Amino acid sequence: MTGELSRYKLGRIGRNDQGGSHRVMCPAVMGKLRCPLRPASMALPFDRPEVLHPPQDPPRCCRQLTITVGVEVAAKTAQKHDYPSAAHRRSYGRRTAVERTFSTAKDPATNDLRRGWCRLMGLAPIALFVACLFVVRNERILRSFEARRAEDARRRAAGLPPRARHRTRRTETDRISTTPATAPP
């Protein structure tokens, strides 16, 4: 689906200027699709999507060769990868992994990386202690992973399905099905 969306997206041409604005071009001019408002694009192959009903009063991107998009207009579309694409999910997954790593490193139940956690001063001892903290955290995560894999192997050998993780989000259907019949509407 995102591949199809990117075919209709305005094409970026160049870097951001000092204010963060950038220039974009109509997808028909860039050769992404066929559009009757851009006669040269109608010579493109028929495997390209075609705008069947162009607007009577075309937007500025259809009347000009390029337009400038300001920072405030479309911050989400200025990202490196298109929003719902697999590349965006992979990139965002790295961010959540980093956030999860730092949250477990600062969790006082396992590691305590709060102010005053170390009485030594200087960059070298603090860096050494932080490196040791991450080694211990990674070892704990690996032991937990290996325990889950061993439990899944034991369940498979016993003919049971692997243990499913508990779902934390509930859908609307789940909420409706668990609502008691005597609850007010």
Q: What is the pLDDT of residues 1-35, one digit of tens each?
A: 666 777 777 888 888 888 888 888 988 888 888 99
Within a domain: residue 126?
A: yes
Query: Can you give the residue range of the structural domain that contains 18?
Result: 2-78
For residue 161, the model assigns a pLDDT of: 85
Burial class, 143, CB count within 10 angstroms (exposed 0-12 / middle 13-18 / buried 19+): exposed
Question: Is there a single domain that holds both residue 111 and residue 74?
Answer: no
Residue 158, both tokens = 């016993």
* pLDDT range class, residue 169, cuts 50, 70, 90: low
Question: Is there a single domain that holds both residue 24 and residue 69?
Answer: yes
Residue 8 in contact with residue 27, Cβ under 8 Å?
yes
Within a domain: residue 179?
A: no
Distances (CA, A) of 161 to 146, 148, 158, 168: 17, 13, 9, 20
Domain limit, last residue, from 59, 78, 97: 78
Question: Is there a single domain that holds both residue 114 and residue 72?
Answer: no
Averaged pLDDT for residues 74-81: 68
Question: Is there a single domain that holds both residue 72 and residue 137?
Answer: no
Within a domain: residue 169?
A: no
Nearest to 92 by CA among 81, 105, 108: 81
Residue indicated by tokens 């991107």: 61
Q: How many domains does the chain have?
A: 2
The better pLDDT of the pair 89, 115 is held by: 89
Q: What is the DSSP letter of 43?
A: G
Within a domain: residue 21?
A: yes
81 vs 84: CA distance, rounded Å? 9
Within a domain: residue 87?
A: no
**Residue-wise pLDDT tens digits, 139-162:** 998 999 999 999 999 999 999 888
What does the mean pLDDT of the chain come to? Answer: 82
Query: Residue 19: what residue type?
Result: G
For residue 5, the model assigns a pLDDT of: 74
Q: Please enumerate in sequence order all residues whose Cβ is within 8 A of that of 20, keeping only pairs 6 or more positions apart, or say none.
A: 70, 71
Residue 54 in contact with residue 8, Cβ under 8 Å?
no
Within a domain: residue 46?
A: yes
- pLDDT at residue 183 greater than cutoff 60: no
Within a domain: residue 59?
A: yes
Within a domain: residue 93?
A: no
